[in-house]
Amino acid sequence: SRGVTTRPAEVEPFARARDLPGNARKPDYRGGVGPGMGTRASSREQHADSRSIGDTVQRQRVKEAARSPAASAESIMAGQVALSRTQVCGILREELYQGDAFHQADTHIFIIMGASGDLAKKKIYPTIWWLFRDGLLPEDTYIVGYARSRLTVADIRKQSEPFFKAAPDEKPKLEEFFARNSYVAGQYNDAASYERLNSHMNALHQGPQANRLFYLALPPTVYEAVTKNIHETCMSQTGWNRIIVEKPFGRDLESSNRLSNHIASLFREDQIYRIDHYLGKEMVQNLMVLRFANRIFGPIWNRDNIACVILTFKEPFGTEGRGGYFDEFGIIRDVMQNHLLQMLCLVAMEKPASTHSDDVRDEKVKVLKCISEVQASNVVLGQYVGNPNGEGEATKGYLDDPTVPQGSTTATFAAVVLYVENERWDGVPFILRCGKALNERKAEVRLQFCDVAGDIFRQQCKRNELVIRVQPNEAVYTKMMTKKPGMFFNPEESELDLTYGNRYKNVKLPDAYERLILDVFCGSQMHFVRSDELREAWRIFTPLLHQIELEKAQPIPYVYGSRGPVEADELMKRVGFQYEGTYNWACGLSVPTPTVEGNCPGLFAPAPITEASPQPDADNQLPLTPARPPGLGAELRLPPRTLQERKMDPGDRGGPSSPSAGGDRGALGGVGGAFVKEAGGAGRGDSV
């Protein structure tokens, strides 16, 4: 019986008495269930007890080093003691379960709705395998696939196993994993199909009482029917029930609210996990630690010191035959409204009261409420065309994809400027840009600081920048000025490099889905999107999306493999981003590159180290003289500065020597209509 335990609820990460039907227990503020309403403190204690993987590894290394007579104090502090994957996973498992085997006996059923799809085969099944292999799932866990296709477990295995990247010595464990898999075929809107699914789950060990986790790897068009049938037919009788909902969460504010209201009528907020996999990435999670665990950043993280913030998501490939699905949503819905906006929140939010999930999400919502709706004059849209000098897919444009409707005006690139209208950030442009078929794969946050007031070096100094690279080659580095070695007193740009490949040479970073799915098992919602977050995000972008669709705005063409439309670079410059020239990394500097994606042969197995120079700082390479190309018409004119802008201290915005660096909102007005196709706006084929 679940009621016989005397352990407090806050130290039961997998089998807390939560999500129970009826009113047997009252929900706490976190969404969990405890003996009464006043349980928020205990849930915070539980959250604090869920150690990060990095902390666990470091503590275990210290323990191992301390036991070794040959270990030095330096090796203990540096964490240089090598551990096997088994050792590290064992310690992590011990902390997850708090040494209590009772809770491992509880049955958990992980149901993949849409098990025949690409997401299931490429991400969900491999992720569950990695967690199972490393012993990070509850012992008695079953995986049930559900889809319309008539498949068997053997079919599922054939489709998904190539993405497991299992080592030869893991074959026995792999057989054990698939022995816990089963599959049920059925329709998404047929009650009888769900009856069969529920009967199948009840037939499993402790099936009626098992905790049930439903992953909706489905198109949003069937969410309402699926969630309704799950609620009516497939819920656990005494265990908890949780659902994971994949983006997109609607198409605009109205459809998102309709979907949210429907799901809220069936499930409590603490049972709903809206997944944005970028919130599971190492460097995105690191943003909070960088900001709130380092005193040096506190005094400078504001409008007085930061000139602009650039949030970038770039993919080097196009739709590659999958444009039909992409065309329905476009790049803003696919990337900007969720991934980039979540990253913006973590950069701009105030310090939360704690790391409790609701405290963090409360602060993110406050940031979103301070952002006005996007104005069309602050937007550049683009669509890639084939590169005549390219090879293979690079020769094809978006409209050459046979799955894309003829004449589609869907944007594959977008640059948008947002402003957070509060005391900390007033006047600072947040530049969001994302696109497909660009010159590189990169996701990063770049903070460019203001010019130094009272320049004594005759404009030889460049702006400082702090860059958090999310992918690839996770890194944090600062660009700063130092004296150039030699006889002369000349400043030179240098870097403070905190590349993960240097500091954590033998650690493989877990995949984002591993972190997030494990969070759902543990009941932590910190890295998931709450309903009010979702509502505010759609409020910001919905008017722009409706305007684009109503006017059928023609995106600016850009060449496959380029940086995107040149108009986007102009927009960035006019709102405050200052081009500093190509950045040259120190000669001979090499960075070991950790393996991140795929996570093979093991989560914590020593990664093969390869020496590779850091990538050029490509996103700070705007044209030296970004003049408008022939045919684009007259030069842009800036409207007069407003009274509020004139009152701003020039020193805060870069000083008199750099009038364009000021983050003036007036500078945006001249870009009006920039997201409409104009002659000569085909972009350029460079890859800087």
Distances (CA, A) of 343 to 56, 256, 311, 335, 336: 26, 20, 8, 11, 10
Query: Rounded CA gap, 287 and 214, in Å?
Result: 30
Q: In sequence order, what are the residues at sequence separation of 6 or more whose Cβ sits closer than 8 angstroms to the Cβ of residue 630?
A: 680
The identity of residue 661, as a single letter, is: A
Query: Rounded CA gap, 448 and 464, in Å?
Result: 6
Backbone angles phi, psi at 89, to 5 degrees: -65, -35
CA distance between the termini of the chain: 63
Three state DSSP letters for 363-396:
HHHHHHHCECCCCHHHEEEEEEECCCCCCHHHHC
- Cis-peptide, bond into residue 248, ω within 30° of zero: yes
Q: Say whether 339 is catalytic.
A: yes
Query: Rounded CA gap, 575 and 554, in Å?
Result: 23
Three state DSSP letters for 50-91:
CCCHHHHHHHHHHHHHHHCCCCCHHHHHHCCCCCCHHHHHHH
What is the helix (H) or strand (E) element at residue 517, kind and residue range? helix 512-522
Task: Find out whether 109 and 204 touch, Cβ atoms under 8 Å.
Answer: yes
- Which residue is associated with the tokens 């999500």? 19
- Tell me the three state secondary structure of residue 234: coil
CA 230 to centroid of chain Cα atoms: 28
Two structure tokens written together for 432: 């969001």
Question: Which candidate, 279, 290, 337, places its Cα nearest to that of 525?
Answer: 279
Q: In sequence order, what are the residues at sequence separation of 6 or more whose Cβ sits closer than 8 angstroms to the Cβ of residue 563?
A: 438, 439, 569, 618, 683, 684, 686, 687, 688
Two structure tokens written together for 325: 């699905």
Alpha helices in 317-434 (DSSP H): 323-331, 341-348, 357-369
Catalytic residue among 103, 108, 200, 339: 339
Distances (CA, A) of 272 to 227, 254, 264, 278, 529: 11, 19, 9, 18, 9
Query: Rounded CA gap, 347 and 381, in Å?
Result: 24
Task: Find out whether 89 and 131 touch, Cβ atoms under 8 Å.
Answer: no
Residue 71 CB neighbour total at 10 angstroms: 16
Looking at the annotation, which residues are catalytic? Answer: 339
